[in-house]
Structure 1
Amino acid sequence: MSTDLRDTLELPEVDQIGFVVQDLEKALAHYEPLFGPFTVMDALDMEWDYRGVQETSSLKIAFAKSGEIEIELIQWISGKTPHKEFLDAGREGMHHLRFIVDNVEGKVEEAKACGYHQIWYKRFGEGLAAAYLEREGDPLILEFFENKHG
């Protein structure tokens, strides 16, 4: 097996860098001069599989682009989420890297061989799903994102 995780999992280039922030408005004021304007959206009362349990959560999210990389800012509002865990651990800042994959569930299975396990998951519909994965001793989360709708 290759020692290069991207090769082992046959991952494409990073598509997104996600940051968890305490206050989205403050973060926008801080990061817009660096990344340009953000598009803000509310992700309210969404159900996710969180550590094997269905949980309802709300987030406030903002997106911008830096070249080909999407920059995502996430403010936790309510519910049990990996973002809340991150904040509760006293952290703020870079939280995850996103990779576009053809099949989220299949890639999650492959990642188990590399020590990753799924902690957050949602299938939005046919061809659209997202999963967060973590591994012991590594604070960086991987996100696999399937989007066959463009």
Structure 2
Amino acid sequence: MSRIFGAVCQNGYVVRDIRAAMDHWINVMGVGPWFYIDRVKTDYFRHRGAESGVEMSIALANSGDLQIELIQQRNDAPSMYREFLDSGREGMQHMSYWTRDYQALYDRALSLGYKVGHEGQIGGEHGRFCYFDTESHPGTIVEISDISGGKGRFFEHIKQIAATWDGSDPIREVRAR
């Protein structure tokens, strides 16, 4: 439990081949089903303060209470995902903390000296997210994510489906909105 952010809710893995990564998690780890969005539509995305046209695919599944996120960046636009891959790494890149009071947590982190690496929004005001530039050790980037709207309901749906998953229909395509 973080004294600043609360409980870790998600581990995020940046991968070069999201299909191969889902297959690994399904067939080797037994985790699923995966909710796959081929091309995520962001309302905005900024990397180190500058607009970026990042294109990415994501897949989400739960292992108990912990959500696993797979991210494949589809272009060379600036992002912390691209920085991670360009440094020769692939795998766990961030831990995400979820909040229903995003602005308060965002402001608190900034007041404590955290610096924004990249941030964006998906699906309106209650879909904000921010990755702080905290990687002094591989895989320790801190993300905060607003779950006060539709994203929170979607995440809860994924968790509920995973709790009774029987192995069927392991990859479920979700249309980007």
Short-chain TM bin: 0.7 to 0.9
**Residues 134 and 141, structure 1, Cα contact 8 Å, conserved in 2:** yes
Deviant stretches of 4+, over 6 Å: none
Hey, what's the Cα distance between the residues in 2 that align with 1:136 and 1:109? Answer: 20
The residue identity in structure 2 corresponding to 1:148 is S
SS in 2 for 1:57: coil
Unaligned stretches of 5+ residues in structure 2: 154-177
Q: Does 1:86 align with 2:84?
A: yes
Shift of 1:113: 5.0
Shift of 1:120: 1.2
Alignment match, 1:121: 119
Hey, what's the Cα distance between the residues in 2 that align with 1:53 and 1:101? Answer: 25
1:120-139 CA distance string (max 9 Å, x none): 11244233311111236243
Alignment match, 1:109: 107
RMSD of aligned alpha carbons: 2.0
* Alpha-carbon spacing, 1:105–1:21, altered in 2? closer, same or farther (3 Å): same
Q: Which has the higher contact order (CA 8 A, sep 6+)?
A: 2
| TM-score, normalising length: structure 1 | 0.85
Q: Does 1:26 align with 2:20?
A: yes
| Count, aligned residues | 144
1:26-63 CA distance string (max 9 Å, x none): 11221112113311102346330110001111111111
Shift of 1:103: 3.1
Alignment match, 2:72: 75
SS in 2 for 1:110: helix
Q: Does 1:62 align with 2:59?
A: yes
Identity of aligned residues (%): 30
The residue identity in structure 2 corresponding to 1:144 is I
The residue identity in structure 2 corresponding to 1:28 is M
Shift of 1:20: 0.6
The residue identity in structure 2 corresponding to 1:135 is T
1:5-37 CA distance string (max 9 Å, x none): 811x1x232111100111112112211121133
Hey, what's the Cα distance between the residues in 2 that align with 1:121 and 1:104? Answer: 12
Hey, what's the Cα distance between the residues in 2 that align with 1:45 and 1:123? Answer: 9
The residue identity in structure 2 corresponding to 1:104 is Y
The 10-residue stretch of structure 1 (37-46 or 20-29) with the greater mean CA deviation from structure 2: 37-46
Hey, what's the Cα distance between the residues in 2 that align with 1:106 and 1:14? Answer: 18
**Residues 118 and 131, structure 2, Cα contact 8 Å, conserved in 1:** yes
SS in 2 for 1:60: strand
Q: Does 1:130 align with 2:129?
A: yes
The 10-residue stretch of structure 1 (85-94 or 106-115) with the greater mean CA deviation from structure 2: 106-115
